[in-house]
């Protein structure tokens, strides 16, 4: 009898111990879950509060920027933030990025703010793309169209787009007629906060046009016929406040070790061919400093880095292993082959307004375009 009672007591104690362990474990898990939930809410509060603070500073001064990651202690946690210019599809915006942390929890918030319209000059729509074609657009080989992280290197064709080989595009691809691809093309915009389709059929984009003869009288330098440069020559342009205009009544041909310095515009009545080792001593990261507007075809070849914004009212052909740092627009077709690259740099309205007009935008307030975390 005594042994039976002892076994019963031991069994009862074991069951009690298991139940007690499970209850304590459940309470512990519940406490841990509650704390984790609280930390997550706290992290979101820190991030959202930092976004609101930065938005307020931006509203007070549209020039406010924080280009390097900066840390601020807030509500017992931390917020690391940047405020940078960016271009999305292809509107001009300010990107607010915040990464908030609180006791092991991390949240990232991104707010895209449309800049107020200043009423200042803006480039024609075709110049707001890394690559624009009024006709068909063909990219083949290992071509790359890229941009710094704050920009999208967008591509558009008023005809059809055909990608073959291994082209890489760090932007959106839009077209009017058809889109086709073969090989292994990669389309990945740097900025896509609304998760839009990377290829899309849209309405035609207007093509800018001009008559070079209209600007012969205001050009600071004129060539009635062809303008040929070869060997070690220098093309000296103007300043940012007073860009120089050069008129060419025939064809433009550059080859050899040509050096370009200063800010300026070259208008060409015929075809334009640039090859060899062209060097641009004046260039900026946020806008082009050189522009070439040609009625005839533009052919770019060689292995040098070509800076600037280029427009042909006919066709553009790009070959070789060089890099175009700027933007390209064609009133006809575009063919790009080989291992060439386009690094998108926004077109400079100060270099388009003398030829195509100012295109002044209407005034608008600072406005949130999208917000996600």
Q: What are the pLDDT digits (tens) for 164-186?
A: 999 999 999 999 999 999 989 99
Nearest to 172 by CA among 202, 214, 212: 202
Report the C-alpha gap between 274 and 271 in whole angstroms. Answer: 10
List b or e across 304-330, with b for residues whose CB sees 16 or more CB atoms inside 10 angstroms. Answer: bbbbbbbbbbbbbbbbeebbbbbbbbb
* Section 181-209 average pLDDT: 91
Nearest to 113 by CA among 147, 62, 167: 62
Report the C-alpha gap between 143 and 122 in whole angstroms. Answer: 29
- Say how many C-beta atoms besides its own lie within 10 A of residue 64's C-beta: 13
Mean pLDDT check: name the lowest of 86-90, 99-103, 251-255.
86-90
Residue 35 is predicted with a pLDDT of 66
Q: Domain segments of the chain: what residues?
A: 2-118+367-372, 125-356
Rounded mean pLDDT of the chain?
A: 85
Q: Read off the pTM.
A: 0.68
Task: Give 108's strand partners.
Answer: 99
pLDDT above 60 for 7: no
More confident residue, 283 or 307: 307
The terminus-to-terminus CA distance of the chain in angstroms comes to: 69
Residue 62 is predicted with a pLDDT of 79
Whether residue 177 contacts residue 159, with contact meaning beta carbons closer than 8 Å, is answered with yes
pLDDT band, very low/low/confident/very high, at 266 (cuts 50, 70, 90): very high
The per-residue pLDDT for range 13-71, each reduced to its tens digit, is: 555 554 555 555 544 455 556 667 788 888 999 999 999 999 888 887 878 899 999 99
Whether residue 154 contacts residue 236, with contact meaning beta carbons closer than 8 Å, is answered with no
């Amino acid at each position: 009898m005594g042994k039976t009672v002892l076994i019963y007591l031991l069994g009862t104690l074991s069951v009690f111990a298991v139940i007690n362990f499970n209850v304590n474990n459940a309470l512990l898990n519940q406490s841990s879950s509650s704390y984790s939930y609280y930390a997550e809410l706290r992290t979101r509060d820190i991030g959202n509060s930092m976004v609101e603070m930065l938005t307020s500073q931006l509203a007070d001064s549209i020039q406010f920027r924080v280009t390097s990651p900066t840390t601020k202690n807030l509500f017992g946690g931390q917020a690391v933030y940047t405020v940078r210019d960016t271009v999305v599809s292809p509107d001009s915006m300010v990107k607010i990025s915040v990464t908030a942390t609180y006791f092991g929890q991390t949240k990232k918030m991104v707010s895209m703010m449309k800049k107020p319209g200043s009423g200042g000059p803006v480039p024609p729509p075709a110049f707001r793309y890394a690559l624009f074609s009024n006709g068909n657009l063909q990219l083949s080989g290992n071509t790359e169209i890229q941009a710094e992280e704050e920009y999208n290197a967008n591509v558009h064709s008023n005809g059809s787009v055909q990608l073959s080989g291994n082209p890489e595009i760090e932007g959106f691809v839009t077209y009017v007629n058809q889109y086709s691809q073969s090989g292994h093309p990669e389309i990945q915009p740097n900025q896509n906060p609304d998760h839009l389709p990377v290829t899309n059929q849209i309405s035609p984009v207007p093509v800018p046009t001009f008559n070079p003869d209209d600007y012969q009288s205001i050009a600071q330098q004129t060539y009635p016929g062809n303008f040929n440069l070869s060997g070690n020559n220098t093309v000296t342009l103007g300043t940012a406040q007073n860009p120089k205009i050069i008129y060419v009544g025939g064809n433009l041909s550059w080859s050899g070790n040509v050096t370009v310095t200063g800010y300026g515009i070259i208008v060409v009545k015929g075809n334009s061919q640039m090859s060899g080792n062209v060097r641009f001593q004046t260039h900026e990261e946020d806008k082009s400093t050189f522009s070439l507007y040609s009625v005839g075809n533009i052919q770019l070849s060689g292995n040098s880095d070509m800076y600037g914004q280029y427009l042909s009212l006919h066709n553009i052909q790009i070959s070789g292993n060089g890099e175009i740092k700027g933007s390209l627009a064609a009133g006809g077709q575009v063919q790009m082959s080989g291992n060439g690259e386009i690094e998108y740099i926004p077109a400079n309205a100060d270099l388009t307004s003398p030829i195509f007009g100012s295109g002044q935008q209407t005034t608008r307030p600072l406005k949130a375009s999208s917000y996600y975390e």
